[in-house]
Structure 1
Amino acid sequence: MFRWFERRLDPFPALPATQPPRGLVAFCRHYTRGAGPWLLAMAVLGAAIAVGEVAVYAYLGSLVDRLAEHGPEGFLAAEGRTLLGIGVVVLLGLPLAMLLSSLVIHQTLLGNFPMRIRWNVHRYLLRQSMSYFQDEFAGRIATKLMQTSLAVRETVIKLLDVGVYVLVYLGGALAVAASADWRLMLPFVAWAVCYAALMSYFVPRLSRVATTQADARSVMTGRIVDSYTNIATVKLFSHSQREQAYARDAMDGFLVTVHRQMRLATAYNALNYLLNMLLLFAIAALGIWLWRQGAVTTGAIAVGIAFALRILGMSQWIMWEMSALFENIGTVRDGIGSISVPPTVEDAPGAKALPPVRGAIDFEGVGFHYGKGSGVIERLDLHVRAGERIGLVGRSGAGKSTLVNLLLRFHDRESGSIRIDGIDIATVTQESLRAQIGMVTQDTSLLHRSVRENILYGRPDATEAEMIEAARQARAHDFILELVDAQGRRGYDAHVGERGVKLSGGQRQRIAIARVLLKNAPILVLDEATSALDSEVEAAIQENLATLMQGKTVIAIAHRLSTIAAMDRLIVMEQGRIVEEGTHARLVAGDGIYAQLWRRQSGGFIDPGVVAEAEVVD
């Protein structure tokens, strides 16, 4: 039975992960798609329970009159069928309705519903552009995802479950009171009006505080995660106290919102309790007065007082439910600001997959300014033949990495075009474009998974033998076999820690190179790919990189010029423009920017024979 209800709502739907709307109601409706029938079933069952409880309370309240009216001898004869019906409702109907309601809520909705939201939000965020993740803490994004999914669930369920139950119950109580004497209904109406006024005062304030609190919580969590993520830097600079102060500042900000919220809760609680006592007093006083006038029976007074006592307890429950509701509404609104953001780089409508390419790359009149209007890259033209190996050279900020990011479509060029084998990369899907480009960066980031999973990320369908061969070529196999993690996993099964923190920079770099070797893409980008390696290991890997580069189009960025001097062609960039190009020897002889950069570095690390060979090829 449990399993049947648990399988009614798919937690991982195959619906397209589209941008959610920014309005609160529209956002919640967007993420309740597919769950509607079960939310409706929950609301209907809640209404049925409320109706059943009202009927039972009404009958039990009037039982005093019925006992007096029929006496011991005739009571069962007159009320037997009614008592049997009430017994069926109490012993079978209400428990069954409550069971079904609990199964729908706990088995179908509470687990699967927020998981659907997490799944859809996560899939959408994975499509976000690089700039989105550069502008946010990773911990903050993850916190927003987790908090918002739960908040949407609580907001929708509380409105449909609690809201429907309360409205039906109060409506039933008013109808029962009015059936005895319309005047007995007046205290309930007055209570409802005052309670609505109370809510209209406190709810907006609680909502605003909740929104502020959700943002403060995200800032607090983000700062704490930032400290943990960069713990090596914190310890290296002996800044534990500074990080404590940094986190405490955010915690203080969060605590201010908590105190504001609790002050409102206390005032609300006190006023609500006073209002409930006034209702109880008014019902009792009015009932006694009407009874003395002969307008109502003692049973009617019992019914009114029973409903007043029930509402007294219910109003406290409503208060906390409403406080939680508007806290969740605040969290949803806060999450909307981070989640409902359009990607800055999107596939064109009808974009197709990039077919297998040879690797000819053309930058034609490319301009890019990070939205600033000028600077970075200005009308750049660069033509790379298929299979050609070029090196990008220039001072920091010259635009080398930006050029590579435009090729990968981490950003979209603002003017001009970029083509691979004559195909404009803006017309193909980003996934298919990047699938044909292998890249090794200076700041190597590994997944917090096993070494095997990190290497196979390059080509998940590769065999074990192919994976090990790639690791051997990257000079990583030997040290991998010696790895042991905290759980005792060894070798390729050992986990590398967050961003590969358990490995040295050189080890991370070699695993990253093995990953790209395994990918075997036709276009290869090396951005300071061997900068973290010592000279001996670099020399060994260079041999394998030379093998890897055969037949591939290669774009290599390096500040250490000796590592790219043997490339087919060197491109010198300055302020987003190409100012020099040619072979190493020609550029050195030209006495330009490259020659100046070369003279500042030691040329002793490069084999003159390699340069001479490169000149012959040219």
Structure 2
Amino acid sequence: MFAWFERRLDPFPPELPLTPPRGLGAFVLHYSRGALPWLVLLAVASALIAAGEVVLFGYLGDLVNRLAGAGPQGFLAEEGPRLMRMALLLLVGLPLLNMLSTLVMHQTLLGNFPQRIRWQAHRYLLRQSMGFFQNEFAGRIATRLMQTALAVREVAMKVMDVAVYVLVYFAGALVLAASLDWRLALPFAAWGLLYAALLWIIIPRLGRASEAQAGARAEMTGRIVDAYTNITTVKLFSHTAREEAFARRSMESFLGTVHRQMRLAAAQDIALNLLNAWLTGSTAALGLWLWQAGTVPVGAVAVAVPLAMRLNTMSHWIMWEFAALFENIGTVRDGIGSLSLPRMVTDAPGARPLVVTEGRVRIEDVTFRYDADPAERPIAVLDRLSLDIAPGERIGLVGRSGAGKSTLVGLLLRFHETESGRILIDGQDISQVTQQSLRAAIGVVTQDSSLLHRSLRDNIAYGRPDATEAEIARAVATAEAGDFVAGLVDDEGRRGLDAHVGERGVKLSGGQRQRIAIARTALKDAPILVLDEATSALDSEVEAAIQHQLERLMMGKTVIAIAHRLSTIAAMDRLVVLDAGRVAEQGTHAELLAAGGLYARLWSRQSGGFLAGGDEARGA
């Protein structure tokens, strides 16, 4: 039975996620579509439970009147059938409805519903543009993902369960009191109006406080995770105290939102206690007065007073449920800011997979700047740049920092969109092919080779998950990584390729991480290869040992290599010198030295084989 209800809602829907709407109601509905039939069933069950409880309260008054007016001899004969129906409602009907509500809530919704939201939101975020992740704390994104999934569940379930139950119950109580005597309904109506006014005043403020608290919590988590992620830098610069102060400021801000929320909660509790005391006292006094006047029977008092006391005890629960509802609404609103951002780079309608037959790369009149509004930064990183790379040609990109080398690679990978111009691979405009197929056709080794917190095998096989052990072993040999891989042991005793490397690969040295990254790219065996400072973390001895392996890796591929150490790319087929976002010079190493231009000056300025920095301190 439990398993059947658990299987009613798929926590991992296969459909590709769409951009969530930014409106609150539309956002909640977007993530609730698959669960909507079960939310409606939960609402129906809640409504029937509330109606059943009110019916039982109403029958209680009749029962008291009949007990008072009839003798025990004829009571069962006269009241037996009705008493049996009420017994069936109490002992069978309501327990079955409660069981259905519980199974739908706990087995179908509480676990599967937020997991479904996390799955859909995570898949959407994985496809977000690179700029999105460059502008946000990773910890804050993860916190908002987790918070928002739970908050959407709570908003949807409280509206369909608690709100429906409360409305039906209160409406039923009001009708029941009025059916006894219209005057007995007056305290309930007055209480309902005052209670609604209290909700109107307090709850929205709690929602705003919760929204501020969710943002402050995400900020606090982001700062803490940022310090942990960069713990090496923190310790190298002896900035433990600085990081404590940085985190404390966000903690103080978060605590301020908590205090504000708790003040509202205390004010709500005090006002509600006064209101409930007035309801019970006024109902009892009015009922006794009407009874003494002979207007209502004793059964009416027996119903009205317990009904008021029931609302008294329910009111705190209702208030906290509505407070929690608006708190979650605040959390959802905070999450919308991250989860509903449109992707800056998307596949074109009808985009087809890239088909690489030769590996020719053609860059035509490309202009790019990092600011969306050209008026904000008139100088473009790339300015009408054109370049043609023949199939199988190996070129080296040279230039001072800020010349646009890594930016050009980022555009080739479609991490950003060009402002104008286009990039073609084998005649196919990369803006018209799928991003997944584009990046599958390009192998990249960067200077910042962070690894996943998984085993070495998993990290290497990331290049081709279906690779065999023999293929992984060959990739390790290509990267000259066999010796250190064989000797690796992690904290749990896993060895070699089974050893885990820690977050971002912190358990490995920079050179070891770089060799694993090279092995990963070698295993991928893509037709186009990008080496962005691929050997920057290797010492001279290891670099010399790996050079001939890199030559093997480059065979038959179109290669784009970036290196500040010009000696590492001097043997390329062609060197392309970038300056101020344009191609300044191109030719072989010997031709460029003979020309005596910018490349020759850069070569002559090298100190220890590295390129001296220029004045343009923009990212490479």
What TM-score results when the alignment is normalised by the length of structure 2?
0.96
> Which one of the candidate residues 447, 467, 471 is aligned to 1:466?
471
2:616 paired residue number:
none
C-alpha contact 1:390 1:556 (8 A) present in aligned 2: yes
Distance 1:172 1:287 in 2: 18
Q: Which deviates more from structure 2 when the two are superposed, residues 23-32 or residues 594-603?
A: 594-603
Amino acid at match of 2:142: A
Is 1:398 aligned with 2:410? no
1:612 paired residue number:
none
Distance 2:236 2:536 in 1: 21
C-alpha contact 1:448 1:497 (8 A) present in aligned 2: yes
Distance 2:335 2:33 in 1: 18
3-state secondary structure, aligned to 2:448: coil
Query: What displacement does 1:372 show?
Result: 4.6
Distance 2:20 2:125 in 1: 11
Distance 1:265 1:159 in 2: 21
3-state secondary structure, aligned to 1:31: helix
1:614 paired residue number:
none
1:615 paired residue number:
none
C-alpha deviations, 1:430-461, integer Å up to 9, x for none? 00001000000000011111111111110111
3-state secondary structure, aligned to 1:580: strand
3-state secondary structure, aligned to 1:448: coil
- Please identify runs of 4+ aligned residues in structure 1 that moved more than 6 A: none
Query: What displacement does 1:253 show?
Result: 0.2
Is 1:385 aligned with 2:390? yes
C-alpha contact 1:366 1:415 (8 A) present in aligned 2: yes
3-state secondary structure, aligned to 2:416: coil
The verdict on how the C-alpha distance between 1:561 and 1:372 changes in structure 2, with shifts beyond 3 A counting, is farther
1:11 paired residue number:
11
Distance 1:242 1:73 in 2: 86
2:213 paired residue number:
213
Query: What displacement does 1:100 show?
Result: 1.1
Aligned residues: 605
C-alpha deviations, 1:402-453, integer Å up to 9, x for none? 0000000000111011101111111100000010000000000111111111
Distance 1:604 1:23 in 2: 56
C-alpha deviations, 1:335-364, integer Å up to 9, x for none? 001110111111101000011331111111
Q: Which deviates more from structure 2 when the two are superposed, residues 230-239 or residues 589-598?
A: 589-598
Amino acid at match of 2:387: L
C-alpha contact 2:565 2:609 (8 A) present in aligned 1: no
C-alpha contact 2:207 2:330 (8 A) present in aligned 1: yes
Aligned positions of 1:143-158 closer than 5 A: 143-158=143-158
What is the percentage of aligned positions where both structures have the same residue?
66
Aligned positions of 1:108-127 closer than 5 A: 108-127=108-127
Amino acid at match of 1:431: Q
> Which one of the candidate residues 505, 511, 514 is aligned to 1:506?
511
Query: What displacement does 1:257 show?
Result: 0.5
Distance 2:59 2:413 in 1: 73
2:65 paired residue number:
65
2:618 paired residue number:
none
Distance 2:329 2:285 in 1: 40
1:74 paired residue number:
74
Is 1:204 aligned with 2:209? no
Amino acid at match of 2:348: A
Amino acid at match of 2:212: T
3-state secondary structure, aligned to 1:478: helix
1:476 paired residue number:
481
Query: What displacement does 1:540 show?
Result: 1.4
Distance 1:323 1:104 in 2: 23
Amino acid at match of 1:126: L
C-alpha contact 1:70 1:78 (8 A) present in aligned 2: no
Query: What displacement does 1:544 show?
Result: 0.8
Is 1:413 aligned with 2:429? no
Aligned positions of 1:504-543 closer than 5 A: 504-543=509-548
Distance 2:271 2:234 in 1: 49
3-state secondary structure, aligned to 2:71: helix
3-state secondary structure, aligned to 1:64: helix
Amino acid at match of 1:345: V
Q: Which deviates more from structure 2 when the two are superposed, residues 479-488 or residues 224-233?
A: 479-488
Query: What displacement does 1:61 show?
Result: 3.5
Distance 1:57 1:492 in 2: 69
Aligned positions of 1:194-593 closer than 5 A: 194-370=194-370, 371-373=372-374, 374=378, 375-593=380-598
Query: What displacement does 1:376 show?
Result: 0.5
C-alpha contact 1:141 1:338 (8 A) present in aligned 2: yes
2:602 paired residue number:
597
C-alpha contact 2:356 2:426 (8 A) present in aligned 1: no
Aligned CA-pair RMSD: 1.1
C-alpha contact 1:61 1:306 (8 A) present in aligned 2: no
Distance 2:579 2:6 in 1: 61
C-alpha deviations, 1:220-274, integer Å up to 9, x for none? 1100101111111111111111111111100100011111111111111111111
C-alpha contact 2:280 2:305 (8 A) present in aligned 1: yes
Query: What displacement does 1:126 show?
Result: 0.9
Distance 1:459 1:187 in 2: 72
Amino acid at match of 2:187: P
Amino acid at match of 1:328: N
Distance 1:75 1:217 in 2: 64
Distance 1:354 1:604 in 2: 38
Aligned positions of 1:101-180 closer than 5 A: 101-180=101-180
Query: What displacement does 1:603 show?
Result: 7.8
C-alpha contact 2:50 2:169 (8 A) present in aligned 1: yes
Distance 2:608 2:506 in 1: 33
C-alpha contact 1:452 1:492 (8 A) present in aligned 2: yes
Distance 2:487 2:99 in 1: 56
Distance 2:15 2:354 in 1: 24
3-state secondary structure, aligned to 2:70: helix
C-alpha contact 1:392 1:570 (8 A) present in aligned 2: yes
C-alpha contact 1:62 1:302 (8 A) present in aligned 2: no
Distance 2:373 2:358 in 1: 35
C-alpha deviations, 1:124-162, integer Å up to 9, x for none? 111110000000011110111100000000011011100
Unmatched tracts of structure 1, length 5 or more: 606-618
Distance 1:83 1:244 in 2: 69
1:32 paired residue number:
32
3-state secondary structure, aligned to 1:258: helix
Amino acid at match of 1:526: L
C-alpha deviations, 1:297-328, integer Å up to 9, x for none? 11101100111000001100011111111110
What TM-score results when the alignment is normalised by the length of structure 1?
0.97
C-alpha contact 2:399 2:578 (8 A) present in aligned 1: yes
C-alpha deviations, 1:565-592, integer Å up to 9, x for none? 0000001111101111111111122222
Amino acid at match of 2:450: S
C-alpha contact 1:398 1:576 (8 A) present in aligned 2: yes
Distance 2:373 2:233 in 1: 32
Distance 2:152 2:490 in 1: 39
Distance 1:158 1:548 in 2: 58
C-alpha contact 2:511 2:537 (8 A) present in aligned 1: yes
Query: What displacement does 1:604 show?
Result: 7.8
Amino acid at match of 2:41: A
Query: What displacement does 1:601 show?
Result: 2.1
Unmatched tracts of structure 2, length 5 or more: 611-620
3-state secondary structure, aligned to 2:388: strand
